[in-house]
Amino acid sequence: MVTTEAALKEATTSIEGALGAALVDYSSGMALGMLGGGKDLDLTVAAAGNTDVVRAKVRTMEMLGIKDEIEDILITLGTQYHLIRLLKGRGKTGLFLYLALDKGRANLAMARHQLMRIEADLEV
Please check whether residue 15 is in contact with residue 114, taking contact to mean a CB–CB distance below 8 angstroms.
Answer: yes
For 22, phi then psi, to 5°, come to: -150, 150
Using a 10 angstrom Cβ sphere, with 0-12 exposed, 13-18 middle and 19 or more buried, the burial of residue 69 is: exposed
Please check whether residue 122 is in contact with residue 2, taking contact to mean a CB–CB distance below 8 angstroms.
Answer: yes
Read off the pTM: 0.93
For residue 92, is pLDDT > 80?
no
CA distances to 8, 12, 53, 60, 61 from 16, in Å = 14, 8, 25, 32, 32
**pLDDT 10s digits, 1-20:** 889 999 999 999 999 999 99
For residue 38, is pLDDT > 90?
no
Question: CA 20, 45, 82, 105: dihedral to nearest 10 degrees?
Answer: -40
- Please name each of the domains of the chain with its CATH number: 4-36+55-121 (3.30.450.30)
For residue 91, is pLDDT > 80?
no
Strands (E), 7-69: 18-25, 30-36
